[in-house]
């Protein structure tokens, strides 16, 4: 990991257009309200500095830290809020989606105006953070994280936080972070379920940060899940599960950023907040991640197929105002998919036979084939099509 800068960057936040990673965006920041004198750090962070685990030294380290958050939906918005309020000096927010009314139940940085205007989530989050902590730097990137832009977007970050909704991006993150010895923290929330896992990759060169490596994502999950994967758009989600995942993730991030990686948890920890175990306790699970798997394809053999773009869904523009997504070798149970989709009021006309399943949502018509390939009509925006595919079919 590169050494943290002496102080937060003073450069203006960078924004990119939806679907064109790296390109400068025409979105302009709203005029900042005339503020009184800046709030002194000793006052703003006084209660955090009183906590022995942080103190004045830790607060200084947080101010010089740079964290990238991938996904600024429910978990990402909560984590970004927590770290911004804690005084992390620079945040990079990356998200390909925009705010919708259904987000307001759990995505704490957004309001009704953001949903009405369909404001991109990364930019909406940046603007909200500026209202409660104008002393830090926030870069918003309205982009889909892919092999072509991941090096540019994540190179400056000392720590990467996963707040995505799909395993495709998580495996890409794992490849990148293992290759560059950059720590990252996995987080997930669905229904009443919340889970997190710290990934501290092996060092490939001399470093001043002497952490003991953990298992990587591929050590624990060598292959992505097969078949349709539940998302909050198909299985629902509780805001309490989101905030638990974000709180656990942000706390582990604070340990790392204050150079206390020895205190970081070395397990995949999960909770089901709605269910009880036989003993009447909250349902929880913990799997050790203390040691890397020597046979792991990624951190053991250092084969980075996702970073190379291999195995990613092939996406093409098909004409007729549609985008085709090819995701082969991922069989789809049409009856199960129908049962997942039909309870949603905004999804209608769900029909299937042995050859395909079709449904409509707003201006978009989805046609899904048995091998996972989908045709999404009503858009030529590849980023939007990928987002819709991940939300309703799973990725």
Which residues, including other chains, have CB under 8 Å from residue 343's CB and lie 6 or more apart? none
Residues 354 and 280 in one domain: no
pLDDT of residue 355: 72
DSSP state of 299: T
The answer as to whether 282 is a domain residue is yes
Q: What is the pLDDT of residues 227-256, one digit of tens each?
A: 667 777 778 899 999 999 999 999 999 999
Query: For the segment 111-139, what is each residue's pLDDT rounded down to a tens digit?
Result: 999 988 878 899 999 999 999 999 999 99
Mean pLDDT comparison of 12-16, 28-32, 377-381, highest-scoring range: 377-381
Q: What is the pLDDT of residues 173-191, one digit of tens each?
A: 999 999 999 999 999 999 9
pLDDT given for residue 181 in this prediction = 95
Answer whether residue 18 is part of any domain. no
Q: Considering only CA atoms, give the Rg of the chain.
A: 21
Q: Are residues 231 and 355 in the same domain?
A: no
Residue-level pLDDT at 375: 85
Q: 274 and 204 in one domain? A: yes
From residue 231, alpha-carbon distances to 134, 235, 237, 255, 376 in Å are: 34, 6, 9, 30, 18
Do 281 and 343 fall within a single domain? no
Q: What is the pLDDT of residue 393?
A: 86
CB of 138 closer than 8 Å to CB of 87? no
Question: Is residue 292 within 8 Å of 299, Cβ to Cβ?
Answer: yes
User: What pLDDT does 168 receive?
Assistant: 85
Residue 6 lies in a domain: no
- State whether 255 and 345 are in the same domain: no
Exposed (0-12), middle (13-18) or buried (19+): which is 301, by Cβ within 10 Å? exposed
Question: Per-residue pLDDT for 33 more than 50?
Answer: no
Domain count of the chain? 2
| Same-domain status, 173 and 321 | no
CA distance 313 to 368: 14
DSSP state of 392: H
Residue 374 confidence (pLDDT): 86
In what helix (H) or strand (E) does residue 288 lie, and over which residues does it extend?
strand 282-288
Q: Is residue 329 scored above 50 in pLDDT?
A: yes
pLDDT for res 74: 94
Residues spanned by the domain of 124: 41-288
* pLDDT digits 0-9 by tens, 291-319: 999 999 999 999 999 999 876 777 777 66
pTM above 0.95, yes or no: no
**Residue 343 class from Cβ within 10 Å (0-12 exposed, 13-18 middle, 19+ buried)?**
exposed
Average pLDDT over residues 75-84: 98
- Identify the pLDDT of residue 86: 98
Q: What is the mean pLDDT of residues 206-228?
A: 82
Is 377 contained in some domain?
A: yes
For residues 5-17, average pLDDT: 38
- What pLDDT was estimated at residue 17? 34
**What is the pLDDT averaged over residues 33-56?**
86
pLDDT band at 23 (very low <50, low <70, confident <90, very high): very low
pLDDT at 35 > cutoff 80: no
Closest CA to 72 of 18, 133, 28: 18
Whether residues 118 and 201 share a domain: the answer is yes
Return d(Cα 172, Cα 296) in angstroms, integer: 15
| Cβ-proximal residues to 377 (8 Å cutoff; 6+ apart), any chain | 320, 321, 322, 364, 365, 366, 367
């Amino acid at each position: 990991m590169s050494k943290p800068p002496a102080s937060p960057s003073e450069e203006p936040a960078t924004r990119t257009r939806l679907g064109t990673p790296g390109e400068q965006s025409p979105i302009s920041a709203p005029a900042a309200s005339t503020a009184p004198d800046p709030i002194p750090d000793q006052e703003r962070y006084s209660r955090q500095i009183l906590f022995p685990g942080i103190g004045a030294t830790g607060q200084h380290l947080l101010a010089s830290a740079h964290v990238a958050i991938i996904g600024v939906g429910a978990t990402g918005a909560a984590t970004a809020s927590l770290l911004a309020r804690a005084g992390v000096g620079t945040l990079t927010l990356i998200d390909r989606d925009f705010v919708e009314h259904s987000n307001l139940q759990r995505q704490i940085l957004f309001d009704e105006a953001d949903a009405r205007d369909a404001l991109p989530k990364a930019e909406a989050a940046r603007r909200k953070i500026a209202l409660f902590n104008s002393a830090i730097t926030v870069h918003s990137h309205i982009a889909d994280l892919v092999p072509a832009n991941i090096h540019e977007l994540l190179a400056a970050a000392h720590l990467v936080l996963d707040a995505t909704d799909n395993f495709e991006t998580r495996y890409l993150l794992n490849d990148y972070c293992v290759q560059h010895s950059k720590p990252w923290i996995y987080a997930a929330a669905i229904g009443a379920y919340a889970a997190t896992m710290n990934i501290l990759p092996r060092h490939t060169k001399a470093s001043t940060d002497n952490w003991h490596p953990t298992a990587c994502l591929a050590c624990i999950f060598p292959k992505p899940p097969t078949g349709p994967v539940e998302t909050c758009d198909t299985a629902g989600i509780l805001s309490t599960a989101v905030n638990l995942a974000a709180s656990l993730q942000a706390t582990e991030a604070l340990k790392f950023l204050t150079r206390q990686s020895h205190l970081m948890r070395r397990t995949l920890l999960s909770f089901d907040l709605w269910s009880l175990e036989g003993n009447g306790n909250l349902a929880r699970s913990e799997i050790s991640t203390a040691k890397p798997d020597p046979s792991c394809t990624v951190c053991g053999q250092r084969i980075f197929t996702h970073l190379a773009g291999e195995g990613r869904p092939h996406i093409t523009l098909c004409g007729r105002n549609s985008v085709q997504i090819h995701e082969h070798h991922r069989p789809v149970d049409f009856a199960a998919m129908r049962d997942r989709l039909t309870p949603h009021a905004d999804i209608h006309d769900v029909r299937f036979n042995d050859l395909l399943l079709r449904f409509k949502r707003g201006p978009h018509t989805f046609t899904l084939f048995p091998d996972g390939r989908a045709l999404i009509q009503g858009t030529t925006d590849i980023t939007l099509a990928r987002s819709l595919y991940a939300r309703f079919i799973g990725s």
